[in-house]
Amino acid sequence: MFRFENLDARIAGAPMAGGTSTPQLTAAVSNAGGLGFYGGAYLSPDQLRDVVREIRALTDAPFGVNLFVPEEIPFDAAAFAAYREQLLPLARRLGTDLPEAVPYTDDSFEGKIQVLIDERVPVVSFTFGCADAATIARLHRADVFVAGTVTSVAEAMIAHDAGVDGLCAQGIAAGGHRATYRILDDDPAIETRPLTAAVVEATGLPVIAAGGVRSRDDVVALLEAGAVAVQVGTLLLRCPEAGTKQAHRDALVDPRFSETATTRAYSGRLARGLVNDFIEANTASAPPVYPQVNTLTGAIRRAGATDPEVINLWAGIGFRAAQAIPAADVVAGLAR
Ligand SMILES: Cc1cc2nc3c(=O)[nH]c(=O)nc-3n(C[C@H](O)[C@H](O)[C@H](O)COP(=O)(O)O)c2cc1C
């Protein structure tokens, strides 16, 4: 079984579901000696199988796939309807409509687990919660190294007790969705360094630190805090291998976008992105209704795909350090 501790470069490339992860990006990070992750959320099991095979065709090195763990909570129809009303004028302006009813989806979690087992993917990581002990045991029987993403020591202990082999400690500076286990929970909002140290201390598991990494100095500081490796997402957003939309790439270097914030405005779950008009207009009133709000805003995000004031510009606080260079150069610039 592959292990985090075997990762000589000490660098992982974050899973980035929703179009940013590509087989090319994952393979490029792994071929450079890092651990490339692919964000498998939002794909069907068949699509995920094709992706895994494409990554395998591009690299012989270990790689990981990340899944969102589903949590079905009672649907707040009134909050959903009110948010839909609020978004309708924007949708109409963009020439689209918004669905009145959106079904719950578990994102085909079980089907994708079976694909990852069948394909014997070297590493599987989870976010938005931890898979249960039985699922982790099934992955182990297929020789899969299982990791849980956590934002607090309490979440780390749950993952530890479920039997994970390693953890990814996601600090508050991180770009994209917060890994926070429960949809309704407040964000623990812990900085990457103290979170890493506390999670290592509490669990004794190998920990990959993530969130806000800009430079090799940041990597060294997190390794000193006890991490076995460091995961970067934002630093890969401008790489040619990434699937990042052009409007998103441009926004990362546009002086108009100068800060990031966490918001439920796009999906109903907290995520960090560059502050744009959509975040400013909707953060205060966005309800914690996931995944239905994610599906709701999908029409807007597709219709406004070239407009940085509309789409989600996921980014961590280190976004100005992201360079338009190959992923191998990002890994080489950070690795020891
Ligand atoms: C565009 C984008 C998409 C992301 N998608 C996922 C995902 O699908 N699964 C996941 O566990 N983390 C996801 N993340 C979070 C990363 O795993 C990681 O925690 C974060 O990128 C680290 O912080 P940094 O962006 O400051 O490097 C995403 C981050 C970004 C920027």
| H or E stretch at 52 | helix 45-58
* Minimal-distance CA residue to ligand 1 atom 7: 16
* Minimal-distance CA residue to ligand 1 atom 28: 176
Average pLDDT over residues 157-165: 98
Please state, in angstroms and rounded to a whole number, the distance separating the CA atoms of residues 26 and 35: 8
Yes or no: say if 208 and 168 are a contact pair by the CB < 8 Å rule: yes
pLDDT tens-digit profile of 12-37?
Answer: 999 999 999 999 999 999 999 999 99
pLDDT tens-digit profile of 254-263?
Answer: 999 999 999 9
Report the share of the chain in percent with pLDDT over 70.
100
Atom of ligand 1 nearest to the CA of 315: 31
User: Which three-class secondary structure string do you get for 280-331?
Assistant: HHHCCCCCCCCCHHHHHHHHHHHHCCCCCCCCCCECCCCHHHCCCCCHHHHH
pLDDT tens-digit profile of 244-287?
Answer: 999 999 999 999 999 999 999 999 999 999 999 999 999 999 99
* Minimal-distance CA residue to ligand 1 atom 6: 16
Q: What is the pLDDT of residue 50?
A: 98
Q: What is the pLDDT of residue 144?
A: 98
User: Per this entry, what is the length of the chain?
Assistant: 336
- Quick check: 132 pLDDT over 80? yes
- Ligand 1 center to 210 CA (angstroms): 8
Please state, in angstroms and rounded to a whole number, the distance separating the CA atoms of residues 100 and 265: 17
Grouping H, G, I as helix, E, B as strand and the rest as coil, residue 62 is coil
Which domains are present in the chain?
4-70+105-240+323-334 (3.20.20.70), 74-104+258-312 (no CATH)
Q: What is the pLDDT of residue 62?
A: 98
pTM metric for this prediction? 0.98
Grouping H, G, I as helix, E, B as strand and the rest as coil, residue 25 is helix
Pocket of ligand 1 (CB under 6 A): 14-17, 20, 39, 41, 66, 127, 149, 170, 173-177, 179, 210-213, 231-235, 314-316, 318
* Minimal-distance CA residue to ligand 1 atom 12: 15
* pLDDT bucket at 127, cuts 50 / 70 / 90: very high
Average pLDDT, the chain: 98
181: region left, alpha or beta (phi > 0 left; psi from -120 to 50 alpha): alpha
- Quick check: 336 pLDDT over 80? no
* pLDDT bucket at 146, cuts 50 / 70 / 90: very high
For residue 218, give every residue at least 6 positions away whose Cβ sits within 8 Å of its Cβ, in sequence order, or none: 212, 230, 318
Average pLDDT over residues 48-52: 98
Mutate to test the pocket of ligand 1, among 314, 323, 330 (most ligand atoms within 8 A of CB): 314
For residue 127, give every residue at least 6 positions away whose Cβ sits within 8 Å of its Cβ, in sequence order, or none: 15, 66, 67, 68, 69, 149, 170, 177, 179
pLDDT tens-digit profile of 303-327?
Answer: 999 999 999 999 999 999 999 999 9
Q: How far apart are the first and last CA of the chain?
A: 24
* pLDDT bucket at 169, cuts 50 / 70 / 90: very high
Q: What is the pLDDT of residue 243?
A: 98
